[in-house]
Amino acid sequence: MRARYVLPNFRIAVVGAGAIGGYYGGKLAYFGRDVHFLMRGDLREVRRFGLRLRGKTENVRLAKVNCYRSTGEIGPCDLVFIALKTTSNQDLLQLIPPLLKDDTMLLTLQNGLGNEEFLAEHFGAERVLGGLCFICLHRASPGVIEQFDSGGRLVLGEYDRYPAARTHDVAWEFKRSGVVCTVAENLALERWRKLVWNIPFNGLAITSGGIDTGAILARDELRAAALALMDEVIAAANRCGHALPTSVALQQMKRTETMGAYKPSTLIDFEMGKPLEIEAIWGEPLRRAIAAGAEMPHLETLYRQLKALNEERRMVGAES
C-alpha cells in the first residue's frame, strides 16, 4: 500500500512585511496557513484594518492578522520568510534568534547577491533557502499591497546544494495558496538570471531622473543602455560558472514591455529617501564579475553613479 503524503503544517514568521513579505505572507495566511508577521511600522493600522492584496486578478482582505512588534513575541517557527531590504541585514542578528529552533528554515526573499551567505555565516548553512520573486508589487499604504502585473511567480532553491524534500514542501505551501512556484536545482544561477533585469532597470530608473520602465523602453538610448547592461550581466554569470544563454536578455525585455509604467522598487525607495540596496544589487555582482575576469564598464559606471547619488542625498540629509 502506497504511503499517504502528509501535508506540512508549518508555523511561519515573516520578517519584513513590506510589499514582498506582506504579499506572500498574506497569500499564505488568506489560505489558512499559520503565518505571523513582524510589523513595527504598520502594526497599529494592520491590527485595526487588516491586510489587503489587490491587483488585476485579485482583491482580497485578511481581516485578522497575526502581527507583532517583536520577534520575541512570535517565538520559534518552522519557517521564516526574510523580506527586509538588504540594507537592514545587520538587524537580522537580533531579529532571527528568537524565531529559531533546531530545524527552523530561513528563506530569504531579498534581492541581489550575498544574502544566503550572510545567513549561512551567522545561523548555519543548513538552515538557508533562497527565493526569487518575479512579480511587480508596491506597498500603496499601510496594510495595502498592490500588484501591477497579472502573473508573477516564485522560484525557490537551497543554498549551495540541490533541492531537498523540504524545498518541495515549502513550494507546495505556496502553490496551494495560489502562488505560481517552482523549485530550481541551482539557486545561484537563478540569482544571476534575476539580476539581468534588476541591474539595468532598477539602476537606470534612478540615474535617468526618476522614470518608470515604460519611459526607459521608450527612449532609444536608455533601451540600448539596458541591453548593454544585460549583456554584461549574462557574460559575468557565465564567467562565474553559471550558464545563462544570451536569449535571457530578449526574454526580459519582452517581459518588461508588458509592465507598462512600472516603478521599480529601488526607485520607490529613492523617492522615499530610504537607503538603496546598492551593494547587494550592483556592488557584489560587480566584484564577483571582476574577480572572475569579466570586463564590466557599463556596470562599473552605473554603480559609481548610484553610489554618488546615494551619498549626495545622505550628505544633504545630514546637513538639514
Class of domain 189-319: mainly alpha
User: pLDDT under 50 in the chain at which residues?
Assistant: 1, 3-5
DSSP-based three-state secondary structure for 84:
coil
Domain boundaries defined on the chain: 11-185, 189-319
Residues 6+ apart with CB under 8 A from 5: none
Residue with cell 520577534: 71
Domains 11-185 and 189-319 share a fold: no
β-partners of residue 161 are: none
Burial class (CB in 10 A: 0-12, 13-18, 19+), 275: middle
**What phi and psi values does residue 107 have, to the nearest 5 degrees?**
-110, 105
d(CA 264, CA 188): 22
In this prediction, residue 286 carries a pLDDT of: 98
pLDDT at 150: 67
How far are the Cα atoms of 76, 113, 140, 291, 297 from residue 168, in angstroms, in the given order?
22, 23, 32, 34, 40
Q: Which sign does the torsion angle of CA 84, 90, 96, 102 carry? A: positive
pLDDT tens digits for range 69-90: 999 999 999 999 999 999 999 9
Residue 6: what pLDDT?
56
pLDDT of residue 318: 55
Give catalytic residue positions. Answer: 194
Q: Which residues of 172-197 are buried (b: 16+ CB within 10 A; e: fewer)?
A: ebbeebebebebbebbbbbbbbbbbb
- Residues 257-262: contacts with CB under 8 Å, at least 24 apart: 257/217, 258/149, 259/136, 259/148, 259/149, 259/213, 259/214, 260/148, 260/213, 260/214, 261/212, 261/213, 261/214, 261/215, 262/136, 262/148, 262/149, 262/212, 262/213, 262/214
> What's this model's pTM, rounded to 2 decimal places?
0.92
pLDDT of residue 1: 42
Question: What CATH architecture applies to the domain 11-185?
Answer: 3-Layer(aba) Sandwich (3.40)
